[in-house]
Chains A and B, each alone.
Chain A
């Protein structure tokens, strides 16, 4: 290999190594934030519905701080190289999607749209070729949400909240109907989608237990 060529190769490699190091630092930060957030939200399983708004308040600034991470990463990525590097932060991003959608569900009972999540995480549509929230990442986050809600259905009952499992059941069925519309390839998303039925089953069992024992406010639910 002649010297010119070797030099060219090394300059490409050096540039890549530098970018990778920089991203890695930022992803570490991003990861800390999303873990912190998940840690706070883990308390929903032991929080009565009256205390829930206060808990969400403490989580909000942490979610907002994720904006700094997305901006810092977007800043590093060269134009058109989003897909070259995205594997590095995809886990953190999916966790952030999960937390954001969980918080919204607990507050309004609805599903945060992809655009809304992107907005909350400060992801600028102009960054599209450098940093974006892909459909895949969003859907992974939503599947994690369903996983979590099946746990919450159980724990809410333990805390004496018999209404929550029924709300969760309705919500998760709608989300599942959405997923059923997708033509998924044989990939991780597909496998995780396939596993959703166990969450649905678990939630249904809780609803069944609660209804059978007339614990749930039936009249309200039926009206």
Chain B
């Protein structure tokens, strides 16, 4: 030990001054951690503009877009509409990632990866949902990475494989909701069965990767439950459809007619409201 510089902390003063440096370094670390959590990633943060929150809102927006308009049943049109609406929201989230770039530079990314992960996964869930609605495919690792890359092609950070896969695992839950919500709509039965095959394929793909990723293993059971719900729903549809020998579109029309007739009847029966509506009409006519 004689070869070392004579820097052994041999007095109270030298120990205290060394610990002062440690304090600064630890404070710096904790502050950065807090910043990352607040600015970008906290699930229930005080800010409504963090990445997790914006991603959740986007997912709701996508669900609304593809189920709200009863008149439009063309899948492609709805998909495009969803993608168009998603674009500005996704850009907003991506710009938040860009802002955190400095905080996550160099070896810092992996130091704070645990704090970054929840928001990143939520973002990937929203992004992959929008991607599915537009393309009917699973967004690839490279595609996700390219959304987290500046114009010169330099990534803000290297996307961890784990976050990519866990974000996709959450997508299957959204697809389950989408499939079930679609069933009462025109073309929904076909859609549900498409989603069913898609989620089944996802689950099979994930299965091969679970030995390496503990978290994915946990999410696989949720994916299984989602898949089962879709399977049960599509099963019920097939069983009932089989009792009628007609093409699915005709069945859709038949159901739609019944629904609209029922809607008409209920408005006839709803005298007070109708009367008020007529009164309102007369009023405007008078003016």
Contact = CB atoms under 8 A, between A and B. Distances in A.
A185 interface: yes
The majority secondary structure among interface residues of chain B is helix
Chain A, interface SS category: helix
B111 interface: yes
A178 B140 CA distance: 50
B220 to A, nearest CB: 15
Interface string A77-118: 000111110000000000000000001100111111111100
Nearest to B213: A13
Given A119-B4, A183-B26, 15 more contacts: A2-B137, A9-B209, A12-B161, A13-B161, A80-B110, A83-B110, A108-B1, A113-B8, A116-B5, A120-B1, A135-B25, A135-B26, A138-B22, A175-B15, A185-B30
B212 A177 contact: no
B38 to A, nearest CB: 15
Contact of B22 (A9, A80, A81, A182): A182
A8 B8 contact: no
A83 B138 contact: no
Contacts of A9: 141, 161, 165, 209
Contacts of A159: none
Contacts of B268: none
A82 B107 CA distance: 7
Contacts of A138: 22
Nearest to B142: A8
B19 interface: yes
B107 A13 contact: no
B9 A113 contact: yes
Most chain A C-beta atoms within 10 Å of own C-beta, residue among B8, B110, B209, B212? B8
Contacts, number: 114
A128 to B, nearest CB: 7
Nearest to A103: B1
A80 B113 CA distance: 12
A212 interface: no
Interface of A: 1-2, 4-6, 8-9, 12-13, 16-17, 80-84, 103-104, 107-116, 119-120, 128-129, 135-136, 138-139, 174-175, 177-179, 181-185
Contacts of A82: 107, 110-111
Interface in B192-210: 201-202, 205, 209
A108 B6 CA distance: 11
Contacts of B22: 114, 135, 138-139, 178, 182
B18 A114 contact: yes
A116 B16 contact: no
A73 to B, nearest CB: 15
A168 to B, nearest CB: 15
